[in-house]
Amino acid sequence: MSLTFPGPAILFCPGNRPERFDKAVAASDVVILDLEDAVPFASKQAARAEVISACERLGDHVVVRVNAVGTPWHDDDVRALRELGEATGVLRPIMLPKAEKIAGLRGLADFEIFAICESAAGVINAGALAEEPNCAAMLWGAEDLIASLGGRSSRSPAGNYYRVIEQARANILFAAAAAEKLAVDAVYTDISDLAGLAAESAEAADLGFCAKICIHPTQSAVVRTAFAPTAERLAWATGVLAEAERSGSAVFSYQGQMIDAPLFAQAQAILRSARSI
């Protein structure tokens, strides 16, 4: 599956707030219109109608987060999106929350799926989920995960993820990479802490995540900047590729550093990330 994102800032927008839809599209690279956590039970049906009505108008970079498999709203969410696809000729990707079992993805075989692993079962089964042909991207969620563990917080008092949460984050990244699918990093919930968001986003980009979920429009610009390579890294990567072409060798020296296949691949990744911002 060859899905790509136009940029790294993916923004959640509540499905029951249609007055925010256009602003969310303008503020982000991809919008997730959310029918799940952001919508109260009593508003599910109305939110679904608003999202279906707006999808075609909002353009290509819109994904719908449906309610989880087994909930009272899941089947109706999927049915509405299939009917929209039949009417427009475009079957929109689905973000599937609480992804845990292969059967959940296979029941949506006609859709591209963004699978969110946000429970112990989801993290453990991440590799199998990523291997499913219709899985386009792997995501994870720290807060739902810690709740599934019966825990109290995903982060230490210093603001860092606890090790078990970092392990889950790594599992999702490994599963996505092994299956050649996209990996998307979880939300940073402290909206006021833009410095913390910038640091975590830069780390995510360094590790190989292609994007990060945002929960407020102000986070989008911070994520884009953090995912863009610095001028120094860009200059290094450009120089490495130029020297590789000049030398014609698989192993060569550049600025006193031995460059072989792994470092050459890192230079290529830096240039790809620069082009995607």
Are 256 and 221 in a shared domain?
A: no
Look at residue 28 and tell me whether its pLDDT is greater than 70.
yes
**Residue 151: pLDDT above 60?**
yes
pLDDT of residue 1: 36
73: CB partners within 8 A, 6+ apart: 35, 44, 48, 66, 67
pLDDT band at 237 (very low <50, low <70, confident <90, very high): confident
* Residue 171, domain CATH: 3.20.20.60
Task: Give the residue-averaged pLDDT of 254-276.
Answer: 87
Do 44 and 99 lie in one domain? The reply is yes
Asked if 253 and 202 sit in the same domain, the reply is: no
Among candidate residues 227, 243, 261, the one where a domain is terminated: 227
Quick check: is 115 in a domain?
yes
Residue 2: the pLDDT is: 45
Q: Which residue, of 227, 252, 267, is where some domain finishes?
A: 227
Q: Is 182 in the same domain as 242?
A: no
Share of the chain above pLDDT 70, in %: 98
Query: Is the model's pLDDT at 171 over the cut of 70?
Result: yes
pLDDT in tens, 185-234: 999 999 999 999 999 999 999 999 999 999 999 999 999 999 998 888 88
Does the pLDDT at position 41 exceed 60? Answer: yes
Number of domains in the chain: 2
219 shares a domain with 238: no
If asked whether residues 198 and 211 sit together in one domain, one would say: yes
Compute how many other C-beta atoms are within 10 angstroms of the C-beta atom of residue 60: 8
**Three-state SS letters, 185-206:** ECCCCCCCCHHHHHHHHHHHHH
Phi-psi region of 63 (alpha: psi -120 to 50; beta: other; left: phi over 0): beta
Looking at the domain assignment, is residue 4 inside a domain?
no
What pLDDT score was predicted for residue 235?
87
* Segments forming the whole domain that contains residue 255: 231-276
Residue 2 located in a structural domain: no
Q: Is residue 146, in this structure, part of any structural domain at all?
A: yes
CA–CA distances in Å: residue 188 to residues 5, 104, 170, 223: 20, 27, 16, 10
Domain boundary among 189, 204, 227: 227
Same domain, 160 and 245: no
pLDDT at residue number 271: 87
Do 157 and 31 sit in the same domain of this protein?
A: yes
Do 86 and 129 belong to one domain?
A: yes
**Domain presence at residue 1:** no
Q: Does residue 42 form part of some domain?
A: yes
Does one domain contain both 217 and 88? Answer: yes
Q: Is the per-residue pLDDT at 184 higher than 70?
A: yes
Asked if 137 and 256 sit in the same domain, the reply is no
pLDDT tens for 85-110 read 999 999 999 999 999 999 999 999 99
Is the same domain home to 205 and 235?
Answer: no
Going by pLDDT thresholds of 50, 70 and 90, the confidence category of residue 273 is: confident
Mean pLDDT across 114-122: 98
Within-domain flag for 79: yes
> Does position 3 have pLDDT exceeding 70, yes or no?
no
Give pTM, 2 decimals.
0.89
Is 3 a domain residue? no
Mean pLDDT of 166-176: 98
Quote the percentage of the chain above a pLDDT of 90: 82
